[in-house]
A and B are shown apart, each in its own frame.
Chain A
Amino acid sequence: MNKVMFGRFIPGHSWVHRLDPRAKLVLSFLYIAVVFFANNFWTYLIMTVLLLASVAASAIPLRVYIRGLMPLFWLMIFTVLIQVFFGAGGHVYWQWGWLVVSQDGLNSAGLILMRFVLIILISTILTFTTEPLEIADGIESLLSPLRKFHFPVATLALMLSLALRFVPTLMDEAEKIMNAQRSRGVDFGAGGLRQRIKTIVPILIPLFVNAFNRAIEISTAMEARGYQDGEGRTKYRQLKWHRLDTVSLVIYVVSLSAVIGLRYFS
């Protein structure tokens, strides 16, 4: 589990770390949306520079990001190969049966690879520098306009934060159940696919039953502590929008507008 860097939080005090989670969420979404507008050298240059600047501002070494890309390495190779061999059009460099390496194919392969890397890196910046809890708070705050349409934002936020709070607890429990079953003779990871799937059951069922018992106890405890409904509560955690957030937002909006401008007006 520890090998997966994607989605992990790395504590720090950099510019990006100190940004409001709402700002980071909005900026990441904007960036990802604009990636699909980029279509030539200059637009990609701006996007790359903006990304590298953000990476630098996060004070996390680039190689940590690269390691985060590693699990997706084969997926990247696969998409690039598909694009190279099946993208037709333009000058043909090489042909063998229905396999064609053409100019357009190479172009679109490069484009896809570029987009892929940019999107993954920008989301990695978000997850590296923002605690899951902050992300939950940010999502709640960004969704709050939906209250007008009777969308239960407070309830959703509570669910999200309870789920996040119980991830480590449930992981511990899964580990305990696995060891308990091992000590009773279950051999995980042995045998064929069918056998392996069968050995999951003795972990899953107890975990499921425990989750139900936990839910009952938590809801009892919450009720005993005066929880009635998501609405009408005050909030202890509060997000604060600083000047740093405005500055970052302006930088992003200017650069991303330039990208859109270059696409349509050059």
Chain B
Amino acid sequence: MAIIQVEHLNYQYSNSDTKAIDDVSFEIQAGDWVAIVGHNGSGKSTLAKLLIGLMAADSGKITIDGQELTPDSVWQIREKVGMVFQNPDNQFVGATVADDVAFGMENRAVDRDTMVAKVDQALKQVGMSAYKDREPANLSGGQKQRVALAGIIAIAPKILILDEATSMLDPRGRQEILAVIQQLKTDLNLTVLSITHDIDEAANADRLVVIDDGRFVEEATPDNVFNHGQQLIDMGLDVPLSEKLKDALQKRHIAVPQSYLDERGLIDWLRTSRLNK
């Protein structure tokens, strides 16, 4: 079942000559982890903001969980979607960790006893229970993003959108956040839509949506997308490490398999290839 449906979406910023989103259509199935990839300025973040009605599209139709996005339904749609943004500091609204987790529930007028219980539970799920009364100034970027996640878990959405949520973190913080999200996805049966230009993060998604200069290119599994290696590089996109290695080997006139291999696949191939002999 498609949980997100986008049909012929168009959007143009008033101060720009070109369309930020140009006739984009795609579908996302419930329970998938989908990564939207594209080079900087290709319209990924614009797309995310359109999806939860933070900006209104010029034309086109967005349907989320069977409900069409309109000015009247926007708040109902936001109930179903949680969003983590890029800058950890600028989405931390509460004075302390617990306050920030409670913010979304306060907005939904949840009664206080439920809030207290849910804050504890959500912080436990992201491993931040020990930091409940800390202030944001004393937290690392990765910890702040976990708190942002806890705030979203507390309102139990169906869809989680990550708008470059790991791009301001160090490699370790990034790994930790992605592991927490993976866990949450299974526990809560979430649909995850991650917007990223970290290609190794995208390689782990179930499906990829490729966007180039506001235009939809394709929607396919990572294997299929990374098969068009050179085409991706022409679009200003990176390729995963295993593709880069294959490319480097090919330049040295070593015959490599044409189809995409992830890291494990490449290791297996290297082990069995005659390079070892």
Interface membership of A237, Cβ < 8 A? yes
Q: A228-B75, A236-B99 are in contact. Are A165 and B92 (CB under 8 A)?
A: yes
Give chain B residues whose Cβ lies under 8 Å from the Cβ of A234. 105-106, 109-112, 115
Set of chain A residues within 8 Å of B95, measured between Cβ atoms: 133, 161, 164-165
Say whether B136 contacts A236, CB under 8 Å: no
Residues of A within 8 A of B87 (CB): 217
Q: Which residue of B lies closest to A223 (CB)?
A: B54
In the assembled complex, A224 has its CB within 8 A of some CB on chain B? yes
Min Cβ gap A134→B in Å is 10
- Residue ID in chain B nearest A229 by CB atoms: B107
**Could you tell me if A169 and B137 are in contact, using CB atoms closer than 8 angstroms?**
yes
Nearest-CB distance from B55 to chain A (Å)? Answer: 9
Contacts of B23 in A (CB 8 A): none
Residues of B within 8 A of A214 (CB): 89-90
B103, CB-defined interface residue at 8 Å: yes
- Interface residues in B88-105 by Cβ distance below 8 A to A read 89-96, 98-99, 102-105
Interface residues of B in 75-131 (CB under 8 A from A): 75, 78-79, 82-83, 85, 87, 89-96, 98-99, 102-112, 115-116, 119
Residue in chain A with minimal CB distance to B115: A236
Check A233–B93 contact: CB distance below 8 A.
Answer: no
The interface on chain B, measured as residues whose beta carbon lies within 8 A of the other chain's beta carbons, has a size of 40
**B135 with A218: CB separation less than 8 A:** no
Does the CB pair A233–B115 fall under 8 Å? no
In the complex, the answer to whether A218 meets B91 with C-beta atoms within 8 Å is yes
- Mask, A233-260, CB within 8 Å of B = 1, is 1111110000000000000000000000
Chain B residue numbers with a CB within 8 Å of A221 are: 83, 85, 90-91, 93
Query: Which A-chain residue is minimally distant from B86 (CB atoms)?
Result: A217
Q: Distance (Å) between the CB of B42 and the closest chain A CB? A: 20
CB-CB contacts of A198-229 with B at 8 A, as 1s and 0s? 00000000000000001001101111111110
B52 at the interface (CB under 8 A from A): yes
Please state if A169 and B136 are interface contacts (CB–CB under 8 Å): yes
Contact of B99 among A169, A220, A224, A237 (CB under 8 A): A237
- Chain B residues 182-226 with CB under 8 Å of chain A are none
A205 to B91, CA, bound (A): 23
Considering the complex, which residues of chain B in the window 131-156 have a beta carbon less than 8 Å from any beta carbon of chain A? 135-137, 151-152, 155
Q: A217-B85, A236-B102 are in contact. Are A226 and B78 (CB under 8 A)?
A: yes
For the complex, is A232 an interface residue (Cβ under 8 Å from B)? yes
Q: A226-B79, A228-B75 are in contact. Are A165 and B109 (CB under 8 A)?
A: no
| Neighbouring A residues of B137 by C-beta, 8 Å | 168-169, 172
- The answer to whether A233 touches B107 (Cβ under 8 A) is yes
* 16 A-B interface contacts by CB (under 8 A): A169-B89, A217-B87, A218-B93, A220-B49, A221-B85, A224-B85, A225-B103, A225-B107, A226-B79, A227-B93, A233-B106, A235-B112, A236-B99, A236-B106, A236-B112, A236-B115
Q: Which 9 residue pairs spanning A and B have beta carbons closest together?
A: A236-B102, A221-B91, A217-B90, A168-B137, A226-B107, A225-B104, A224-B83, A233-B106, A133-B95
Q: Which residues of B contact A (CB under 8 A)?
A: 49, 52, 54, 75, 78-79, 82-83, 85, 87, 89-96, 98-99, 102-112, 115-116, 119, 135-137, 151-152, 155
Q: Beyond the given A217-B91, A236-B112, A238-B112, could you list 13 further A-B residue pairs with CB under 8 A, ordered by the A residue number?
A: A168-B137, A169-B136, A218-B90, A226-B79, A226-B104, A226-B108, A226-B155, A227-B93, A228-B107, A234-B106, A234-B109, A234-B111, A234-B112
